[in-house]
Amino acid sequence: MDIEKQKFLSEFARDYGYPNAPKNIDQIRASEFKRLDGLVYLDHAGATLYSEQQMEAIFKDLSTNVYGNPHSQSDSSVATSETMKKARQLVLDYCNASPQTYKCIFTSGATAALKLVGETFPWTQESCFMYTRENHNSVLGMREYALSQGAVAFAVDIEEVECGSGLLGDDCSSVWMSPHAAQRRSTARDFDEAPKADSIGHVYNLFAFPSECNFSGVKYSPDLANIVKQDHHNALEGSPYCRGSWMVLIDAAKGSATEPPDLTSFPADFVVISFYKALLFSLLLGHIGYRSAYAAKILRKTYFGGALLGTVAASIADIDYVMRREGIEEWFEDGTQSFLSVASIQYGFKIINTLTTSAIARHTSSLATFTRRALFELRHENGSSVCVLYGTSTKKLSCHGLGPIIAFNLKRPDNSWFGYREVEKLASLSRIQLRTGCFCNPGACSKYLRLSHLELLTNIEAGHVCWDDHDILNGKPTGVVRISFGYMSTFEDAMKFITFIEKSFVSRTREIGSGFGLDAHPIDFSHKEPHPSVTEVLDPPVPTLLHPKATTYQGACLKSITIYPIKSCRGFSVDSWPLCSSGLQHDREWILKSPSGEVLTQKKVPEMCLVSTFIDLEHGILFVESPRCDVRVQIDLLKAVSQCGAREEIMSQFHRYEVQCYDSEVNLWFTNAIGRPCTLLRCVSSQPRRRMNECSNMTRCRDMESKLSFVNEAQILLISEESVSDLNSKLSSKHSDLLLWYDKWIWPFCATGLIDLVAFGDFENDNNKGLPIHVHPMRFRPNLVISGAGPYTEDLWRVLTIGKEHFVSIGGCNRCEMINVDPQTGQRPKSKEPLATLASFRRVKGKILFGILLSYDGAAEVGDSEEKVKPQLTVGQEVYPCSVNSKDIDAEGTSVCI
């Protein structure tokens, strides 16, 4: 780290770390961002962070002053009005805007500010709404107002102009705008028909562009405002969309964080700023700057609200009479503003003005440039590139025309893609916070990923929507990984991220036990040599888990059986249990559903692990207990459905379920037990939903043909004690290595006060004062635990017999952060264990596999008739598995049943 930092400082010492400020970056982090110890936060484009000093100043202000509703003449109201006036001036000063020319309007956020322009702009059938393709959805939403009024709308691409200061730099004298197809909903008149001469002056057009693209980080010169307003005929080459007057909107929600627009040099008509991205803390406050001379003249405000300082001076309730205020602020700010949020703005500006925006821009740019170069230079062992960067090229890696955003995707040695969700999941396990997807910028996403309209529509029809897990469709990524730096980001943040990418995604052979953190060790089934477990090797072929010639194994037995009647609640162990067509009888037959329809699990409601269950089969009763409730619930399993409650249908995991509801008394008990409103539902019947697209490779329940209860992927989950033991050995070894590393390298420096304990501090705190984590098999919520089969031998079983019953393996179980929840307390450790360790050696194409999923193969013979004796599983029964050859396993590590 020291050598790398010295190299970094040799180039960026003048720009990095605020050398001329009262505090340098290391002092700022140590004194004002203690909560970031061990955490790398790289999503400042989404929301930047507030400092402890800032919060202390805000608290002191609000706790010592009295701020009242400004719609009054009391002393507290006057104090609020003065604070708001001061805040408006701070905003105008930030953008170098004169109060005689611009007015500052506070809104609930940047989106509300853009909506306000869209709904009040004087659209006509002769109007145009032109916007750059790389615009946020909040800008695209303005298009609805234009199109609904018969105006034409179209996107433009701004051609790159090579200048000394980067893309569209200050010394560019002209740009080229390439328009896309025009969009129009009304055909009341032919647009090519020239309007009457006296109406041209009343035609207003609007051009919107971002000061910085929130997807790629590309900066657009604010001089576009002058070009469009003064030279739009040349920029659009005599297009028919050049008639009338052009007004310009700059979306500076992202760009203002490091480089606010200079409105004296580039007089845009509307400028939108998001304070939670730029000013560190503001409770979702937004701002829009209006050029007052234009806004008062043309904008059409309909709604009015408030009084005194509201939008109305006087109104009469029972007749159509209203007198509006003439001031721009009063006219557009409906009702009472969030005046306490406005009061907090000054403390954000105080920090920024102390550091200066130019120093913040240089600091963040140095980190982004260093990281871009490092990512670009990463190579797999075969020489292929690891990272594809968007919004830049090799010639522009040192270009200052890019903001502190880096958008990229990662490739494997065979040139296939790592899914961005895989990157996000592993980053979270390494305590690195970043963002993935398209960031509400569909134009930039399709542009840089080269997705055609047909591909976009095909993905949507296949079920892909924002924020889902479908990161690769038809061999192409549907989004990207984005990191972004803020004023408090450090070189150490950048270096930890680069190291994470290198260890987790770069293919090169490593020695067993070398290094720390997450290494990508995909399970490969193509090798012919026997080996007890997956070896510590990156992408080259890995020894198989079992010898492919072996077909059966002896000595394995069923060690335990666990039933989980209510999904995500605590289960109970039995010595013997009946099987049915849906697997283990009554297993995950009930769910808890939120009022919004969401199926509740421990991922979001860890308190569910405290709810205990037990079923008395002889008397047909489900007993449920909770430490939060004085009495336990008894649910009669044999009671007629008509006596229990209504029925309804729900969809979950691509299955349609008919469910039984319960009365309010039962639902109230569960609401108290987990601390949030919920209802209990019981599965009465289920059937798989027809697959939408067989070729879409969408994530769905793998066992689509069996009768299922409320399971995620299959009827039964099996793990082996030997696999758990091997995992515990790795956890213990990792802990020992960290202790040795700590004693040798970290503690000597911590003792002298030269450095702070960062990552290891959380490790100690999370693990009972340094004790290694030891996981119990029940941490993985298995139905069946077997013993005597050897670590991970279950991975290659295709079919198995337990006692006299037959089961089919449908592949490994993909693990998530739910296994990090302590099943006894519901707590999650900061160390992200044991999932972090599993990710280091059990990754297969983005999945972290542990245990196997089984489908019961005897349901057709057994049936569900009450006269027949149901087959049973009993603890102690022998397990007879059959292995599978490597050719019978697909690329996802899933067994192919033949």
Residues belonging to the active site? 440
Grouping H, G, I as helix, E, B as strand and the rest as coil, residue 590 is strand
298: which residues sit within 8 A by CB, 6+ positions away? 121, 122, 204
> How far is the C-alpha of 123 from the C-alpha of 132, rounded, in Å?
19
Sign of the Cα torsion 284, 289, 292, 296 reads: negative
What is the H or E stretch that residue 234 is in? helix 224-235
> How far is the C-alpha of 277 from the C-alpha of 404, rounded, in Å?
13
Radius of gyration of the chain (CA): 31
**DSSP code string of 736-749:** HHHHHHIIIIIHHH
Residue 54: CB atoms within 10 Å: 19
> How far is the C-alpha of 58 from the C-alpha of 60, rounded, in Å?
5
> How far is the C-alpha of 80 from the C-alpha of 69, rounded, in Å?
7
Grouping H, G, I as helix, E, B as strand and the rest as coil, residue 818 is helix
702: which residues sit within 8 A by CB, 6+ positions away? 713, 714, 810, 811, 853, 894
Sign of the Cα torsion 485, 488, 492, 493 reads: negative
Looking at 621-678, which runs of residues are DSSP E strands? 621-625, 633-636, 647-652, 655-661
Tell me if 587 sits within 8 A of 658, measured CB to CB: no
Buried-exposed string 526-550: b where 16+ CB fall within 10 A, e elsewhere = ebeeeeebbbbbbbeebbbbbebee
Sign of the Cα torsion 120, 124, 130, 135 reads: positive
> How far is the C-alpha of 593 from the C-alpha of 256, rounded, in Å?
42
What is the H or E stretch that residue 801 is in? strand 797-802
> How far is the C-alpha of 477 from the C-alpha of 482, rounded, in Å?
14
